[in-house]
């Protein structure tokens, strides 16, 4: 049994310890050393706040300068690309599941301003081969690629479609393929050959690996495009973080990243006109723009002296 005196002594000791702790803490707070440290921390905090405000102001100013520069470049684009593609028929091939309609509209306007016409916009998305056995048999038989395993057949079918788009020799095959294939969308005229191809590349880990190892649908598309006797330009948007265009270097295809920017648009038109290379603002690009062969404006005639 606990002795009452011992219990009281223990309680007194606890309260004494608490009182001593309070006295020590109070003395420390009131000490000049602690107050000095608090003042020092307060000064550092104030300086950090001031630096943060300055950085925000500088960043805002830089952002405004960037917007001004982009607006100025946007005004330059029409003059830089005018008549560079006069009379050319350009095919656009999109390998994205959900095509960016606003970007496609801008690119069509760009190409028209350069004197070209967009002959067709072909979208390859998802599985090109239908699940239905009868439909699958019909499309593969018409393509002449029967008796192959499914993945190989899918790649071969993508190659046939792209070849038909570029060469303009198989409009009936393309029409039938679009009728049966759940991943093929046609828009435009496929009855004539084209003079250039713009490929808007999809971005996914799967496609990146496939291009790296030379397999997959997009790899087959790149291989077929590399065999065509027309300029082919692979493009992507500026906001794409995992860039896919460097993977097309192994196929000797010209690439343009940031095609939705003024510089990217100028590079695209010159690339379709025959300039080869890897253009853009991302680390894997070799140069910002191709060499521009802008002709100087003719001087105004001097009025005769009176």
Q: Mind listing the pLDDT tens digit for each residue in 26-63? A: 665 555 576 787 877 888 888 888 888 888 888 888 88
The one-character DSSP state at 300 is P
Q: Look up the pTM and report it.
A: 0.74
Q: Helices (DSSP H) in the chain: which residue ranges?
A: 4-30, 32-81, 101-113, 133-143, 150-167, 171-180, 205-213, 217-227, 262-272
CA quadruple 297, 105, 262, 59: dihedral sign:
positive
Helix/strand number for the chain, H first, E second: 9, 7
Note the pLDDT tens digit of each residue in 146-163.
767 888 888 899 999 999
Q: Is there a contact between 157 and 177 (Cβ–Cβ < 8 Å)? A: yes
- Sorted by where each begins, the domain ranges of the chain are 8-81, 85-279
Contact residues for 85 (Cβ-Cβ < 8 A; gap 6+):
111, 114, 115, 116, 196, 269, 272, 273
Give the whole-number percent of the chain exceeding pLDDT 70.
80
Domain 85-279 in CATH 1.10.10? The answer is no
């Amino acid at each position: 049994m606990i002795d009452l005196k011992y219990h009281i002594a223990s309680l007194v000791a606890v309260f004494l310890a608490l009182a001593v702790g309070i006295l020590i803490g109070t003395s420390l707070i009131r000490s000049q050393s602690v107050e000095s440290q608090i003042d020092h921390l307060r000064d550092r905090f104030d300086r950090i706040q001031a630096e943060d405000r300055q950085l925000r102001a500088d960043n805002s100013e830089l952002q405004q300068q960037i917007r001004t520069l982009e607006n100025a470049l946007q005004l330059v684009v029409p003059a830089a690309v005018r008549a560079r593609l006069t009379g050319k028929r350009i095919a656009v091939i999109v390998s994205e599941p959900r095509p960016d309609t606003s970007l496609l509209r801008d690119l069509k306007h760009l190409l028209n301003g350069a004197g070209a016409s967009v002959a067709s916009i072909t979208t390859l998305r998802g599985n090109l081969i239908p699940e239905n056995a009868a439909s699958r048999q019909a499309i593969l038989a018409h393509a002449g690629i029967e008796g192959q395993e499914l993945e190989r057949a899918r790649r071969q079918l993508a190659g046939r479609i792209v070849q038909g788009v570029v060469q303009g020799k198989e409009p009936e095959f393309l029409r039938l393929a679009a009728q049966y294939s759940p991943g093929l969308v046609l828009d435009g005229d496929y009855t004539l050959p084209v003079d250039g191809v713009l490929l808007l590349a999809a971005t996914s880990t799967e496609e990146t690996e496939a291009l790296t190892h030379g397999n997959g649908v997009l790899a087959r598309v790149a291989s077929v495009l590399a065999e065509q006797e027309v300029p082919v330009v692979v493009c992507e948007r500026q906001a794409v973080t995992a860039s896919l265009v460097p993977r097309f270097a192994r196929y000797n295809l010209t690439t343009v990243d940031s095609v939705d920017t003024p510089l990217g648009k100028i590079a695209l038109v010159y690339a379709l006109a025959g300039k080869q290379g890897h253009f853009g603002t991302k680390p894997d690009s070799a140069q910002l723009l191709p060499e521009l062969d802008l002709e100087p404006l003719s001087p105004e005639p001097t009025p005769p002296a009176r």
